[in-house]
Amino acid sequence: MLDTLKSLTTCITRLNRYIELLPDQPALHACMRQVCDEYVGFCISAILFREKSRWFWVYTVTCRPMNEKFQDAKAKIDGHIHQFEKEASLEIASITLREIRTLQQAPSAQPTNVKPSPVFKVDFAQNKFFTGRETEVSLLCEHVQNARKDGERGICTIHSMGGMGKTQLALEYAYRFRAELDCVFWMPAEHGPRLAQVFADIWTAVAGEAGSGPGQDASSPPIALPDNLAATVLRTKEWLRVTARPWLLIYDNVEDWDTIKPYWPSGNSGTILITSQRSDLVQISGGCEIPLSPLPPQEGRALLMKHLRKEPSNSAQDIKLAVSIAGKVGGLPVAISHIAGYIEKPQSTLDCQSWTHQYHQTLETTRDIALHELSTKSRALLNILAMLDAEYILEDLLFSNPALALIIRLAFPRQSDIQAPSNQNWLANEACLGHALHLGNAPNGFPELLADVSNYMWERGLYERGIITGQLAKRIHKEHQSEASEQSHDLIEHSKICTLLSGIYLELGISGREGGLAEALEAWEPRRQIRALSCSTDEMTQENLLLVANSWNDIACCMMEYGCYDTAEAWLSKSLELKRDLDEDGVAFFNYAENFKTWPS
């Protein structure tokens, strides 16, 4: 009886859902009323039977006829339910057929091709003083067009010594032919971490377009952006590989292939320009190159005159002097531009003096002339501005004064004392990253600075560079250890560096687990020594005690990578045992969660 009631209740619920879907069908409502009538009657009979069955003699007399009554009621209800479902199926089929016929009779809609908006991400405005180089521009266009005709990617390397105008030529190409390209992206390639972020920003730009991600069309919904930098880089590379939109990547100022290799898209689509001072990088572009030489005298003269706004009414004497000045600075566009600025500011004439007689090197000429004109206060201000600039710092400033090096140490955010994630500091990390990587001397705290850089690279998924930076930090730390008075601090800092390296190695999978275990053991040993030197845990700070406990957890993670779960469980148990000795002040909550998250099941 109970099973019957349960089954009928479920059926009533299902029938109500049909009624909600088809509210305007009287046949269904009639069937539903019949089912409800029988259902209510069955429930009343069941209640009365339950009351009578309290007396055994009544039960023995009425059981059989009541059972037959229940079976008969159930059969009627099943019949009504069957009829209801037939009516519902018929009505659904009727509605479906009507809708199909309506669609067939409707005028056919023409497909609309919504073209995504162009994306132009270039760091610089078009250079209105760009002069000459028409032969190089034409040759560059020819290389790209020939590659496209052959179904290949157009790749070309623009190379020369500094100041020759490589960047300006690539910039001119991007602006001059932007109408033929859907997407143009400028990639500053001096430093890998900076390049990684800019390359990942491509995904942000194209995913912001409705449905412009990999495998989607214009009608697709916007794409959710991944938080992990490494994952975003992979998505960007895949989009560049599969998209049919014509795109251009410009890797500016490439110093070596290893820097741009992780951010080089596969496939044959798109166009790539490389600017570099290294001619051997031509092999990347399959021998396709645009070597730049100094500007010819007339083009150098035209560039100088354009900066001085003396075209087209310049005299023959001015032309002769301009050709002479351009020749004395070697025909270098950057030097000509600087000389023009120096001449124009005091509104001097071209023939008032020889601008370059006291110098021999062309680039030093313009730099020294400009600096010589600055007052002492202006020079001091320039030094400060250069120090604060996130992109173009004079490295000599760092090497010449230890106090200035300390500014970088203080500016780069420290990692958490308990080595918890610190993604809230990423923007500040990014701003100071170039300074930290180029800080060549090793003052006190420099190993810790490198460790912080390594931690940032780990969090952003730059594992290879993180390992290189971490190993450098460990090596410098060993060479500059403090005296015995700070031995405990040295041991903790050394263990932190090893812990970072262990975590980065484990991110590499099977290939990194050996290095991860070795670094974890090296981190565990000094922390164990610190605890052994202490008479009790009260003599240790909560942070240091937590680091000791975490080292056991780190080794457990390494053991799990090897599949040694029993061994891992023993290390995890020890980690939890130490953490239970900590004060309940909230410091260890995150680390408790990490323990239970990695506990082998």
Of 222, 265, 260, the residue nearest 243 (C-alpha): 265
Q: Is 130 helix (H, G, I), strand (E, B) or coil?
A: coil
157 shares a domain with 97 = no
Helix (H, G, I), strand (E, B) or coil at 156: strand
Are 367 and 400 a contacting pair, CB within 8 Å?
Answer: no
441 and 585 assigned to the same domain: yes
Here the tokens at position 306 are 């354009």
Select from 243, 265, 291 the last residue of a domain.
Answer: 291
Rg (CA), the chain: 38
Can you state the percent helix, strand and coil of the chain, rounding each to 5? 65, 5, 30
342 and 249 in one domain? no
pLDDT per residue as tens digits for the range 88-107: 677 777 777 776 777 667 66
In this prediction, residue 390 carries a pLDDT of: 45
The encoded tokens of residue 441 equal 């001397």
Lowest mean pLDDT among 46-60, 425-439, 558-572: 46-60
Q: What is the pLDDT of residue 538?
A: 54
539 and 594 housed in the same domain: yes
Per-residue 3-state assignment (H helix, E strand, C coil) for 249-298: EEEECCCCHHHHHHHCCCCCCCEEEEEECCHHHHHHHCCCEEECCCCCHH
pLDDT beyond 80 at 454: yes
Beta strand 271-276 pairing with 289-291: unpaired
Higher pLDDT, 163 or 274: 274
pLDDT at position 174 is: 93
- What pLDDT is attached to residue 34? 75
Q: What is the pLDDT of residue 221?
A: 36
What are 207's two structure tokens? 């995913």
Is a pLDDT exceeding 50 seen at residue 310? yes
Q: What is the CATH number of the domain that holds 462?
A: 1.25.40.10
Structure tokens at 18: 């049909």
Q: Is position 304 within any domain?
A: no
pLDDT(598) > 60: no
Percent share of the chain, pLDDT over 70? 64
The amino acid that residue 498 corresponds to is C
CATH of the domain at 261: 3.40.50.300
Q: Reply yes or no on whether the pLDDT at 499 is more than 90.
A: no
* Terminal Cα-to-Cα distance of the chain (whole angstroms): 44
DSSP code string of 25-42: -HHHHHHHHHHHHHHHHH
Mean pLDDT is highest, among 108-117, 329-338, 532-541, for 329-338
Do 162 and 241 reside in the same domain of the chain?
Answer: yes
- pLDDT tens, 455-498? 888 888 888 888 998 888 888 887 776 544 446 667 778 888 88
User: Is pLDDT of 71 > 80?
Assistant: no
Averaged pLDDT, 197-218: 65
Mean pLDDT of 23-34: 73
Residues 327 and 450 in one domain: no
The whole-number average pLDDT for the span 325-332 is 76
Q: What is the pLDDT of residues 107-161, one digit of tens each?
A: 654 545 567 788 999 988 888 888 888 889 999 999 888 888 888 889 999 998 8
Give CA separation, 542 vs 70, 448, 486, 491, 521, in Å: 72, 20, 18, 16, 21
Span 333-339, average pLDDT: 77
Percent of the chain with pLDDT over 90: 10
Q: Which amino acid is at 476?
A: I
Say which amino acid occupies 545.
L
Tell me: do 513 and 464 sit in the same domain: yes
- Give CA–CA dist 520/553, Å, rounded: 10
Order across the sheet with 154-159: list the strands: 119-121, 183-188, 247-252, 271-276, 154-159, 289-291
| Section 353-369 average pLDDT | 51
Q: Which of 260, 291, 322 marks a domain boundary?
A: 291
Judge whether 388 lies within some domain. no
27: in domain: yes
Please report the DSSP string for 349-384 in residue order: -TTSS-TTTT-SSHHHHHHHHHHHTS-HHHHHHHHH
How far, in Å, CA of 240 to CA of 183, rounded?
10
pLDDT at position 60: 47
**pTM of the predicted protein model:** 0.50
Same domain, 456 and 519: yes
Q: Is residue 131 located within the same domain as residue 179?
A: yes
Residue 382 domain flag: no
Q: Assess contact for 424 and 414: CB atoms under 8 A.
A: no
> Is there a domain that residue 560 lies in?
yes
Q: d(Cα 129, Cα 408) in Å, to the nearest integer?
A: 36
From residue 396, how far is each of 369, 391, 404, 444 by CA, in Å? 19, 15, 10, 19
What values do phi and psi take at 183, rounded to 5? -135, 130
CA 201/CA 418 separation, integer angstroms: 31
Chain position carrying tokens 């056991």: 552
Q: Which of 162-166, 245-249, 398-402, 552-556 has the highest mean pLDDT?
A: 245-249
Banded model confidence at residue 57, pLDDT cuts 50, 70, 90? very low
Better-predicted residue by pLDDT, 569 or 309: 569
275 — pLDDT class (breaks 50, 70, 90): very high
Place of tokens 């008075």: 485
- Domains identified in the chain, total number: 4
Domain boundary (261, 291, 321) is at: 291
Domain-embedded: residue 497: yes
- Return the pLDDT at 184: 94
396: pLDDT strictly greater than 60: no
Position 383 in a domain: no
94/130 same-domain check: no
Closest CA to 8 of 67, 55, 78, 58: 78
Torsion of CA 47, 51, 55, 60, to 10 degrees: -20
Domain with 46, as residue range(s), is 2-102
Question: Rounded CA gap, 236 and 207, in Å?
Answer: 10
pLDDT at 218: 40
Assess whether pLDDT exceeds 70 at residue 546: yes
Say yes or no: 273 and 314 in one domain.
no
Does residue 537 surpass a pLDDT of 50?
no
Beta strand pairing status for 154-159 and 289-291? parallel
146 inside domain: yes
Best mean pLDDT range from 56-65, 323-332, 409-418, 438-447 = 323-332
> Which tokens is 302 given?
């035209």
Residues 266 and 338 in one domain: no
